[in-house]
Amino acid sequence: MIDTHAHIDDEQYAPELETFIQRQKNAGVEAILVPGVNLSSLLTVPAVCDLFPGYCYPAIGLHPEEVKGTDEQIQSVLQQLRDALSTRPWIAIGEIGLDYHFDITYKEQQQFVFRTQLDWAIERDLPVMIHSRDATEDCLRILKEYTPKGLRGVMHCFSGSAEVAKIITGMGLYLGIGGVITFKNAKLADNIAAIPLSKILLETDAPYLAPVPYRGQRNESSYMHFVALRLAQVYQTTVEDIKNVTTINAKNLFQL
Ligand code: NI
């Protein structure tokens, strides 16, 4: 298994990072991809990943909920991220996207920042990790402009409709599936049933969204086993097949 989205730079993992990583390895997790969300991530994400080279891989990006302030301030943040792009290898640009859930004050700015980072992804031929919440229409419209230019990526923590799943994978993008698929009332399993397994990636979004039977607790990559179990039911195959295919998918997208 490969965890394509885990915030293990979160300070709650710090006291036991070595044993934490060993536990993931023992559970069959081959690699963990760590997204960035803001300028602080430029320090915390590489710091964690450099402790486990060849196992943890850093991504760089400005999360839509982190887009705030004056236009000058936003430009300054983007400039610092752009400068950092050249300082070391990054596995992806993410997490980036649109989030209108709590606040639409910066809707226009979010779209500008999203586009700017999609441009970087095209320029550098890097995949993207996309975050979209309550912004499906705008997100799809923007992605439709970029996928013909060669944009590659994953819709992280996908929980949309069957129709949206089809549109996203039809653009060549992957769906990142995590703990939500194990939640009792989630229709996610039905919504992705018609999507080929070749377009599915495993992820946790740790420390959030732990699957049943750990729902509500701190998430970790080893718990993806329970996501894989649910996917095995959806695709009527074995859990080993789910783990193998999603691992190959992640290796393909992120060129691991
Ligand atoms: Ni995330």
Using a pLDDT cut of 90, give the percent of the chain over it.
99
The residue-averaged pLDDT of 149-165 equals: 97
Model pLDDT, residue 156: 98
pTM of the complete model beyond 0.95: yes
- Ligand 1 centroid to residue 129 C-alpha, Å: 9
Rounded to the nearest whole angstrom, what is the distance from the C-alpha of residue 75 to the centroid of ligand 1? Answer: 23
Ligand 1 centroid – CA 37 distance (Å): 8
The mean of the pLDDT values for the chain is 97
Task: Report the first-to-last Cα separation within the chain, whole angstroms.
Answer: 13
* 117 alpha carbon – ligand 1 mean position (Å): 16
- How distant, in Å, are the alpha carbons of 18, 24, 120, 165, 186 from that of 158? 30, 23, 23, 8, 12
Q: Reply yes or no: is the peptide bond before residue 148 cis, omega within 30 of 0.
A: no
Q: What is the per-residue pLDDT for 39?
A: 98
Q: From the CA of 83, how far away is ligand 1's center (Å)? A: 22
- Determine the distance separating the centroid of ligand 1 and the alpha carbon of 144, expressed in angstroms: 22
Query: For residue 186, what pLDDT is reported?
Result: 79
pLDDT band at 251 (very low <50, low <70, confident <90, very high): very high
So what's the pLDDT on residue 185? 82
- Mean pLDDT calculated for residue range 249-255: 98
Q: How many residues does the chain have?
A: 256
User: In angstroms, what CA-CA distances link 54 with 29, 48, 104, 204?
Assistant: 12, 12, 39, 19
Alpha carbon of 240 to ligand 1 centroid (Å): 26
